[in-house]
A and B are shown apart, each in its own frame.
Chain A
């Protein structure tokens, strides 16, 4: 079982539609990061959320950290073909007996059709 579960795994929508991607866990995270990865490139950091309930906006993208800091969501308004990519969430936590580390979810592959 993955520490961070992302859903849906795949999402294909038409340009102009809205969508939400979820990142869930049973663990508490001190912070949570969202990345976007385009084909043939490395992931690029979009945002970091730190406080439970925090909401951050990046143009048409809205990121929310759950009140209990166990989950997060990414909402895209009026999606465009340029939003196509693999969206990854990553949570900072301390496994028992270990140093703090960042764990990545398996990703949501988004395709926005023109």
Chain B
């Protein structure tokens, strides 16, 4: 089944404790992206990747890091999480950045206390 797999689904952590949210896709998509979704603010892009070793900032990149060492994986790293990073996070992949539909993962609900 074609899908984007995110882990974990739920995560509660403390301020400053480094964490990684994994994302993997099995569709051989070149484009991958991370979004956060907050009430009243919609989907906001954090980082995206056009291909292996090619990453770029989205609209809200502060406090986040990403890497794209393999085509299928695009982990999101929070080096020192803060409470304002409490949010619902989605990974998405596509054949390109604009015209093909995105396939989203099921989401990771992160709480930073």
Asked whether, in the complex, the Cβ of B107 is within 8 Å of the Cβ of A40, the reply is yes
State A44–B4 Cα separation when bound (angstroms). 12
Q: Which residues from chain A contact B97 at a C-beta distance below 8 Å?
A: 99-102
Q: Give chain B nearest CB distance to A16 CB in angstroms.
A: 29
Question: Is B105 interfacial (CB 8 A cutoff)?
Answer: yes
Contact residues on A (Cβ < 8 Å of other chain), bracket: 20 to 34
Tally chain B residues at the interface, Cβ within 8 Å.
Answer: 18
Asked whether, in the complex, the Cβ of B98 is within 8 Å of the Cβ of A42, the reply is no
Segment of A58-66, A68-76, A77-85, A104-112 engaged in the interface with chain B: A104-112
Q: Which residues from chain A contact B41 at a C-beta distance below 8 Å?
A: 106
Q: What is the interface of chain A mostly: helix, strand, loop, or mixed?
A: strand
Q: Would you give 16 A-B contacts (Cβ < 8 Å), ordered by A?
A: A31-B98, A33-B101, A42-B4, A42-B106, A42-B107, A43-B43, A43-B90, A45-B101, A45-B103, A88-B43, A90-B102, A100-B99, A102-B97, A106-B41, A106-B42, A107-B42
